[in-house]
Amino acid sequence: VRATGTAEHRTVEVVLDRASGTQGLSLDDVARLSGRVSAALDALGDHVPGVGAGEYLLEVTTAGVDRPLTEPRHFARNVGRLVEVSVDGAAPVTARLKDVTDDDVELAVVRPPAKKGMKAKELPAERVALDRLGPAIVQVEWSPAQQAGDADAAAGEDTAEHTEA
């Protein structure tokens, strides 16, 4: 929970996460919890600690993709994804997260392509103790179609649901 802004434009930001497990929160979970947080804050009236009296904007969200992975459950949620992470304080590397246990992770360092149009090279995976890792940041991967501006999506033939008012 964080309160920011000026007296005229205050925001209370609540970031949700599960206390345990590897499953993330669904949109339904966030909507339900947002209602509960709002009701709890409303019950406090003008006595919201750290916010004070008056109006404020309530933002309830989950941690974003740029949130550092620091706990085994964070890593477990992201098996299969690329992460940027440093080992033993060295310069960060990009690696694919292959497996996670309570004590270590299996990482396959990914070398960038030698030339444009070539694929990146994934090196053999190695196990690394969690206590040797700095915070890891998930790297968003784009497919070639997404990078080029998918022609189907541009033509309105994508599979995402859109609602127009």
- Nearest 10 degrees: CA dihedral of 17, 63, 60, 46? 80
The pLDDT value given to residue 103 = 94
Partners of 133 in the β-ladder: 87
* Structural domains for the chain: 2-62 (no CATH), 72-142 (2.30.30)
**Is the dihedral angle over the CA atoms 54, 60, 65, 70 positive or is it negative?**
positive
37: closest CA among 2, 66, 74?
Answer: 2
Q: How far apart are CA 5 and CA 12, in angstroms?
A: 9
The pLDDT value given to residue 101 = 94
* 10-residue mean pLDDT series, the chain (165 residues): 77 78 76 89 79 81 78 89 95 96 95 89 96 93 56 42 38
The pLDDT value given to residue 14 = 83
Q: Taking the CA atoms of the chain, what radius of gyration do you get in angstroms? A: 21
Report the phi/psi class of residue 5: left, alpha or beta, with left for phi > 0 and alpha for psi in -120 to 50: left
